[in-house]
Amino acid sequence: MSAASQQTLAGPATLVGTSLHTGEKVSITLKPAPEGHGFKFRRIDLPDQPFINADVEKVQTVERATTLAEGSVKVHTVEHVISALTGMGVDNALIEMDANEPPIGDGSARPFVDMILKVGVCAQAAPRRVWEIRDPIYQETADGTILTIIPCKTFRVSVTNVGPEGRFTQYFSTEVTPATYEKEICAARTFVYYEDVKPLLEKGLIKGGSLESAVVIRGNEIMSKEPMRFSNEFARHKALDIIGDLILSGVRILGHVIAVKPGHGPNTKLAATLKTQYHRMRSQVPPAVIIPDGESVMDINEVMRILPHRYPFLMVDRIIDCIGEDKCTGVKNITINEPYFVGHFPGHPIMPGVLQLEAMAQVSSVLMLRKPENNGKIGYFMSADKVKWRRPVLPGDILFIESDVLKVRGSIGQTRCRCLVNGEVVSEAELKFLLLDH
């Protein structure tokens, strides 16, 4: 399903139809949007024409449909239109509506797919980010819904629909691409059980509902005028809903979604889990290190002229900043080729805490030994106090080692140090060492 670049609509497309709940005439317009825009709804019928992001954090209710809200502004039944956009390979679109919900159409996503096909899609310059799921994600609810995502090199959805008393149990599975979405998924209509909607009908809450806008099931019979479009149409529509609900996480995935008795509530809960785990994964990607200019910066050769340590025990790759004589920051790039990973938790490599302590000591030594009066001396570790290790340091991390002078008395120095990864403190200590001649 992934493409080399993000995609948007090649032009605007408008659809006019009937609102499910009010029965009134409504229109929706899909418009192109810039890179990184994602999907946003806009209520053009309201003052200031407010926007609502298609984001799981905006989900307000999930009863029979997914509703998004920004303050008092709401958009209902959003899953079909964003499912169509996602399934057809669109990443960025502005969705303008003159009501609080899109036209219900025939209860499927086909009207929205027809809109997309009419105007086409076009590639954008920015690359598309697709998250490949590496570890299974599992979710189960008390009513028997089970949602699992397992590693897969494509985006695949497998759904088992189970109705009340086991009625209309159906299965559907497919890889999701624009071609399969158009042919196998988008035409599947929403379905309702008569016993569930009868109270709503009696209250006049679904004035736009009809036998043309959904498949209505009464007992074991299908009440709709049009025959079933697929023998497993209900399972296919559940797949349609899952695609629309999961994109609220804000990221496309490569993975196999296996769903038993899915619904909008569990779907959007899984989308929230995806968003959380994706941002946690992204936070582990080291940011670009900007090395400041100036004489205080030391490359590895200058570091080795000051410190006597050598491979495999040199724990500083470079000094990136020194502020006066009291503060120094070094960097250590942690790679999988570090010799200690061979024996320290094989299969689950973690940088030993004592080596983080050694890195602090070496940066502290640079801080003290760069003073002219200490030229040619060597620092001997004396003690470590208030030592704390807060989180593991893993291969691929960039370790920033900060050292601040607390006090210097004669040949004895004391520093406060900490190690950070992505701005988060991973270890800290107060060190004391002795400076002596070689």
172-221 confidence digits (pLDDT tens):
999 999 999 999 999 999 988 777 666 555 555 455 455 666 788 887 78
Distances 371 to 144, 164, 324, 331, 375 between C-alpha atoms, Å:
68, 79, 10, 20, 7
Tokens 């897969």, residue?
152
Instruction: Give phi and psi for 56, each to the nearest 5.
Output: -60, -25
- What is the predicted pLDDT for the residue at 379? 81
Domain topology for 5-283: Ribosomal Protein S5; domain 2 (3.30.230)
Q: At the fourth CATH level, which superfamily is domain 300-437?
A: Hotdog Thioesterase (3.10.129.10)
List pLDDT tens digits, range 324-345.
788 999 999 999 999 999 888 8
Q: Strand 155-161 relative to strand 252-260: parallel, antiparallel, unpaired?
A: parallel
**Average predicted confidence (pLDDT) for the chain:** 89
Q: Return the biggest CA–CA distance within the chain.
A: 95
Looking at 237, 279, 344, 438, which residue is catalytic? 344
Residue range(s) in the chain whose domain bears CATH number 3.30.230.20: 5-283
Taking only the tens place, the pLDDT of each residue in 18-51 is 887 667 889 999 999 999 999 999 999 999 999 9
Judged against a pLDDT cut of 60, whether residue 59 lies above it is answered with yes
What angle do the packed helices 110-119 and 79-87 form, to 10 degrees?
40
**In this structure, which amino acid lies at residue 317?**
D
Coil vs helix vs strand at 357: helix
pLDDT tens digit string along 107-127? 999 999 999 999 999 999 999
Catalytic residue among 76, 264, 309, 438: 264
CA gap 90, 34 in Å, rounded: 12
323 Cα distance to chain centroid: 38
Confirm if 96 and 44 have CB atoms less than 8 A apart.
yes
- Which residues, other chains included, contact 302 with Cβ-Cβ below 8 Å and sequence gap of 6+? 319
Answer yes or no: is pLDDT of 362 > 50. Answer: yes
209-214: long-range contacts, CB 8 A cutoff, minimum separation 24: 209/20, 209/104, 212/106, 213/18, 213/20, 213/104, 213/105, 213/106, 213/107, 214/104, 214/107, 214/189, 214/190
Strands (E), 120-239: 121-127, 130-132, 137-140, 146-150, 155-161, 170-175, 191-193, 215-218, 221-222
The span from the CA of 287 to the CA of 302, in Å, is 25
Distance CA 391, CA 280 (A): 14
Helix (H) or strand (E) holding 415: strand 412-421
Percent of the chain with pLDDT over 90: 64
Annotated catalytic residue 237? no
Tokens of 8: 């948007």
Closest residue by Cα to residue 87 from 244, 198, 211, 308: 244
Q: Which residues contact 283 (CB under 8 A, 6 or more apart)?
A: 422
Q: What is the pLDDT of residues 257-296, one digit of tens each?
A: 999 999 999 999 999 999 999 988 887 665 555 545 444 5
Residue 389 pairs with which residues in a beta bridge? 427
pLDDT for the residue numbered 24: 80
Is 21 labeled as catalytic in the residue annotation? no
Query: Angle at which helices 79-87 and 233-246 pack, to 10 degrees?
Result: 90
> Which pLDDT score, from 0 to 100, does residue 346 have?
83
Residue ranges, CATH 3.10.129.10, the chain: 300-437
239, 157 Cβ separation under 8 angstroms: yes
